[in-house]
Amino acid sequence: MTSVPDTDAAGRVLSADGTPLKQSLNRALRRQKLRALALIAPLLIFVLVSFVAPILDMLFRSVENQLISDNLPQTVVILEDWDPNSGELPSEAVFEAFAGDLQIAISKKVHTRIGSRLNYEKPGISSLFRKAGRQVKKWDIPNDGPYKEKFADLNKGFADIEVWRTIKTYSGAYTNGYFLNSIDMQKGADGAEARPENEQIYITLFIRTLIMSLAITSLCILLGYPVAWILANLPSRTANLLMILVLLPFWTSLLVRTSAWKVMLQDQGVVNEVLVWIGLVADDSRLALINNQTGTIIAMTHILLPFMILPLYSVMQTISPTYLRAAKSLGATDWTAFWRVYFPQSIPGIGAGSILVFILSIGYYITPELVGGTKGVFISNRIAFHILSSLNWGLAAALGTILLVVVMALYWAYDKIVGIDNVKLG
Amino acid sequence: MADSDQGGAFVEFDRVQKSYDGENLVVKDLNLSLPKGEFLTMLGPSGSGKTTCLMMLAGFETATNGDIRLDGQPINNIPPHKRGIGMVFQNYALFPHMTVAENLSFPLEVRKMGKSEREAKVKHVLELVQMGEFGGRRPSQLSGGQQQRIALARALVFEAELVLMDEPLGALDKQLRETMQFEIKRIADDLGITVVYVTHDQTEALTMSDRVAVFEDGRIQQLAPPDELYESPQNSFVAQFIGENNTLEGTVKEIKNGIALVQLDGGGLIDCKPVNVTKAGERTRVSIRPERVEFDKTRLHADAHTLKAEVLEFIYMGDIFRTRLRVAGQDDFIIKSRNAPDQVRLEPGSEIEIGWLAEDCRALDA
């Protein structure tokens, strides 16, 4: 018979030498834990440095706005007392402070950056700052005022109340301006307001991205399910052979595959030629299959299909064919047996595949860029544009953050509805 | 070998053959008929064709040739879901995404039965297998034995008259298996259902069945009630397969008055009952059960032939003693004796004489 463990006054179980059992267990496990930590440390550090840190930096950029308050410090302080809705330009003191700030900024060569930053909010300011840069550095401050007139002479843009309103609006160290911009709004005279309709693009893009990703995911389920079924029910020799066909696209360059679709789908492409040849489509009304949403959906479904088939296959492999037999022996028709018995058991595979395909497609960039034309591009193409061309990283970061939040929200919703433990990735 | 057409055969295999590859027959010329209410076991080593027969009856495999009839109707072309045969699978095949009650209600739902009627039947069948409180559980929350009961209940709930069982107790431990053997037998008898049971466990077959069909090499080797099967095996395969058995090889010297005199290859003459031998000079394999061997000369016929034996090993097994002997040059001759107060314990190394009643020793095919 085993002895009952001793306990101390507080009711804690004691080990043989009188120390609390929990404490000696911790001590015994500490070495093991440290060794385990040391083993994963290289990867942990790598992930932190190369993945977590950049993401945090990007998230920070979506609200960061220190460029203006750092480089126009005096101007920003004095501007606080000015009411843009008064209909008058700021006072002479503001202009004088601005001239002083600008001279320092010019000597540090940051005035053009300030200009481009403000240019995102009000086009034209960039050239204003560039021109000022050549003149202002020659000024003798504070002796050759008044600066209100000097600036007005330099460029009449400086006499525009809207320019000063923009400087005042973006004078804080942090701003929600990028996020407002991301959802087609802007900071107006009375706070946030909708942008004019011809400037609204992002909401449409977000919705298009979501709808098209859903369409791609659904198509992948429709096309992938039967394939996975066949793979799972064939003898393993044949299944392995066919599996190579499924994996083959993985071994081909993404660009090659996408370009191949261009060849297939264009006006004079293989598909259209065949359709015209067999007479399904008239020669003068060929199908527009590329450089639009159709093109993006077709190409991306093809590219992402393996990500649906693989988890489906691995889940289906674990479903014993006996279940179907059992259902049939109990009187179910083939369809009922499939729908009531097989399908529910394959849902974890559908879930895993859908999450993979949906999340991959929502952030997809290359394929929509190449085959999407103007109507078939995703939000990620816009993000890429702001990163690479317009250099408005703050806006790109805000768009990216929204995308991240949307994906996480969908993931959360999926967990609530289906349950994340119902997902099997392999 | 199988019973010929009798009136009122419920299940009937008529010259059934099955081949998967078109070259080898897995089932060769199977003839079998069983009346309503019978508990028939198909017993055989793996690969002997017994499961294939069961699957053909269930409709998951098609017979390559021949007819399978259920209640007089050929069922070769009837899909499994229309046959109305209950089936218990080897690993139960309870649907993991449904509760026990949903599993049981499934066959009733596909038969478009009303909700209240379904609930009543599920409740009834749960009580039949003594699992009344488990309706709300998932199969994964049940032990092996409990899952077994539910699988049985599911095969019974839609009142199938024929229930097939494919090694249903294979995954259970010994004790549970024995309990379930009696349980299944009791339920089958109570409901008066016809059961075709497949197993490779001969004890299970002997305990439960009305008749046992011993399969080997795609044929039924013997179809008989358990006692007959054990005591009068028709050939050396059946003798070997059912229970423990001593085999000696030899040549028939003469057959006289229903007794065959066999000259053993290892030396010695013995009396046997001729089963598969008809004339002198034939090769034969002689089979004798360990518990039918006598080493007490007073209990044998005065003129019975005996053999010299050397005791090699004595094993105490509690209820019985098991003694290994060298007989006619063979080291694997076993005798079993009951652990009774006056029982002799044979000393290894000692020389004894053994014998038996001629009818206990069967001269079978070589």
From the list B90, B96, B110, the residue facing A331 with the nearest CB is: B110
Q: Which fold has domain B9-236?
A: Rossmann fold (3.40.50)
Q: What is the pTM of this model?
A: 0.78
Q: Which chain A residue's Cα is nearest to B96? A: A345
Rounded to an integer, the average pLDDT of A268-294 is 88
Residues in chain A: 426
Q: Give the DSSP per-residue string, B155-191.
A: HHTT--SEEEEESTTTTS-HHHHHHHHHHHHHHHHHH
Residues 292-351 of A with CB under 8 A from B: 320, 322-323, 325-334, 336-337, 340-341, 344-345
Residues from chain B contacting residue A323 (CB–CB below 8 Å): 93, 95
Placement of tokens 């079978």 in the chain: B364
Asked if residue B43 lies in contact with residue B202, where contact means CB atoms within 8 angstroms, the answer is yes
Cα–Cα distances (Å) from B81 to A34, A171, B112, in that order, read 59, 76, 14
What ipTM does the predicted assembly reach?
Answer: 0.81
Test B81 with A341 for CB contact under 8 angstroms.
no
pLDDT score recorded for residue A1: 45
Q: What is the mean pLDDT of residues A75-90?
A: 85
pLDDT at A199: 82
Question: Residue A8 pLDDT more than 80?
Answer: no
Please indicate whether residue A297 or residue A390 has the higher confidence score (pLDDT): A297
What's the start-to-end Cα distance of chain A, in Å?
Answer: 45
Identify the closest residue of chain B to A323 by CA–CA distance: B93
* Mean confidence (pLDDT) of chain B: 89
Task: Give the one of B59, B90, B158 whose C-beta lies nearest to A330's C-beta.
Answer: B158
**Domain span(s) for CATH 1.10.3720.10 in chain A:** 202-422
The residue among B56, B57, B81 with the most chain A CBs within 10 A of its CB, best to mutate, is: B81
Contact B58 A332 (CB under 8 A): no
Residue pLDDT, tens place only, B102-121: 999 999 999 999 999 999 99
Q: Over 60: is that where the pLDDT of B6 sits?
A: no
Q: What is the mean pLDDT of residues A56-75?
A: 89
pLDDT digit string, tens, across residues B218-234: 899 999 999 999 888 88
Q: Give pLDDT, residue A86.
A: 82
pLDDT, residue A267, reads 87
Predicted pLDDT at B7: 54
Contacts of B158 in chain A (CB under 8 A): 330-331
Q: Please tell me which residue of chain B has the smallest CA distance to A340.
A: B106
**Stretch B5-26: mean pLDDT:** 83
pLDDT at B255 exceeding the cut of 60: yes
User: Which residues have a Cβ under 8 Å from the Cβ of B207 and sit 6 or more positions away?
Assistant: B181, B182, B185, B226
- Does A3 score more than 60 pLDDT? no
Query: Considering CB atoms only, which of A325, A332, A345 is closest to B110?
Result: A332
Q: Is the pLDDT at A421 greater than 50, yes or no?
A: yes
Buried b (16+ CB within 10 A) or exposed e, A287-303: eebbbbbbbbbbbbbbb
Q: Do B106 and A323 touch (CB under 8 A)?
A: no
CA distance B317 to chain A (A): 29
| Mean pLDDT score, A62-80 | 88
Evaluate if residue B280 carries a pLDDT over 90. Answer: no
Average pLDDT over residues B235-242: 88
For the cut 80, the answer to whether the pLDDT of residue A145 exceeds it is no
- B151: nearest CA in chain A? A326
pLDDT recorded at residue B101: 94
Residue A214 has pLDDT above 90, yes or no: yes
**Tokens 């993404």 belong to which residue?**
A254
Q: What is the pLDDT of residue B1?
A: 37
How many residues can be counted in chain B?
Answer: 366
pLDDT at B47 over 90: no
Residue A142: asked if its preceding bond is cis (omega within 30°), the reply is yes
Does pLDDT of A71 surpass 50?
Answer: yes
Percent of chain A at pLDDT > 70 equals: 97
The pLDDT value given to residue A334: 92
HSE at residue B211, side-chain half, CA atoms within 13 A, is: 18
Q: Searching chain A, which residue's CA lies closest to the CA of residue B85?
A: A329
Do residues A116 and A70 make contact, with C-beta atoms less than 8 angstroms apart?
A: no
The token pair that represents A100 in the structure block: 């002083």
Query: What pLDDT band is residue B2 in, cutting at 50, 70 and 90?
Result: very low
B53-92 residues touching A, CB cutoff 8 A: 58-60, 79-87, 89-91
| Inter-chain residue contact A337 with B60, CB threshold 8 Å | no
Q: Which residue of A has its CA nearest to B107?
A: A330
Residue B140 banded pLDDT, cuts 50, 70, 90: very high
**CATH class for the region spanning A202-422:** mainly alpha
Which one, of A259, A94, A211, lies nearest residue A161 by Cα?
A94
* Domain ranges (residues) in chain B: 9-236, 244-359
Contact B207, B227 (CB under 8 A): no
- Top CATH class, B244-359: mainly beta
Of A322, A328, A332, the CB nearest to B91: A322
- The answer to whether residue B21 neighbours chain A at the CB level (below 8 Å) is no
Confidence at residue A4, expressed as pLDDT on a 0 to 100 scale: 56
Contacts of residue A36, Cβ cutoff 8 Å, sequence gap at least 6: none
Q: Is the pLDDT of residue B72 over 60?
A: yes
Q: Which of B59, B95, B154 is facing A341, going by the closest CB pair?
A: B95
pLDDT at A422: 67
Angle formed at CA A392 by CA A386 and CA A398, multiple of 5 degrees = 80
The confidence score (pLDDT) of residue B254 equals: 87
- Mind listing the pLDDT tens digit for each residue in B329-353? 888 899 998 888 888 888 898 998 8
Q: Which of A412, A397, A394, A399 is nearest to A121 (CA)?
A: A394
Q: What is the pLDDT of residue A247?
A: 86
